[in-house]
Amino acid sequence: MTFPGSARVEMVMGRPVSVDIRTALPPRELTPLLDNAFAWLRWVDATFNPSRENSQIARLNRGQTIEQIPELIEVLHRCDELSVATGGWFEARIGGVIDPSGYIKGWALERLSRALTQAGAVDHRINAGGDIRVRGSATPGKRWRVGVRDPRTGLVRKVVFGHDLGIATSGDAKIVDPRTGELQDALSSVTVIGPDLGIADAYATAVYAMGPALGRRFAMELTEPYETLIVGRDGQEFSTPGFAMYGGAEARLAG
């Protein structure tokens, strides 16, 4: 089936990122929109990736002078707020090292989605390694359909539908207990859905770090507008009641 709009996939942040615009805009508008979208994502990676020697985060960790970039101040401030909101289970400052990775990808895609909407591309889906932001319609009047995959197995655990939704999944990254610095491995994956992808990304990271018992408790206290799906290492699933509101029918399909 041929859809209006245009789509592009590029490697950014060490993973394939896709931007799929379904709004019927002329090519002279779509091409620069996609160019600008990936330029933004590359700038975010160059600025916030602590593994990049000249990134602002790497310079900050070395105690060097950094640029007073508004986005940098915003991200660090938001990470501090999310640390408080999660009781310290989301933490961008561990052992004296700053690493906003648990928030930055979702934040970057959320900002990009808003920019596309303001530019007239109101129908779009952005996918970066399991973090997905959808707006508008896949086709006129039809919600986007997104399969939530377990990053360890590739299994589609749920299918969710939405016109305006952020979907963040944690499980394939090296997430640590911020209190001990030890890698967490008690869960297979955590998916959080809600209106802001950056916040959903941070919550998914925090719940994964908490482990099964604390993670379930936090998810139930969190609830609307953010809903959670937790998958244990044994494949057992737990989801908050509101998850079903997004049409979360079980798919049970192999990747």
Residues 6+ apart with CB under 8 A from 152: 171, 172, 188, 189
Query: How far is CA 186 from its chain centroid?
Result: 21
Q: Which of 30, 234, 205 is nearest to 104 (CA)?
A: 205
Residue for token digits 């709009």?
A: 5
How many CA atoms does the CB half-sphere of 215 hold within 13 Å?
A: 30
Q: Which of 185, 12, 177 is nearest to 87 (CA)?
A: 177
Q: Which amino acid is at 102?
A: G
Query: Tell me: the pLDDT tens digits for 86-100?
Result: 999 999 998 889 999
Query: Tell me: the pLDDT tens digits for 32-49?
Result: 999 999 999 999 999 999
Residue 201 DSSP SS3: helix
The confidence band for 252, taking pLDDT boundaries of 50, 70 and 90, is very low
The token duo for 142 is 């039809």
Res 251: pLDDT? 38
**Mean per-residue pLDDT, 222-236:** 90
Res 1: pLDDT? 58
Residues 6+ apart with CB under 8 A from 104: 44, 48, 75
| CA distances, 239 to each of 43, 95, 159, 162 (Å) | 35, 33, 13, 18
DSSP 130: T
- Residue 62 pairs in a beta bridge with none
Select the more confidently predicted residue: 84 or 67: 84
State the Cα–Cα distance between residues 24 and 3, nearest whole angstrom.
Answer: 9
Q: Which of 3.40.605.10, 3.10.520.10, 3.40.50.10800, 3.40.50.1980 would CATH assign to domain 6-253? A: 3.10.520.10
State the Cα–Cα distance between residues 151 and 244, nearest whole angstrom.
Answer: 21
Task: Tell me the domain boundaries of the chain.
Answer: 6-253
Reply yes or no on whether the pLDDT at 157 is more than 60: yes
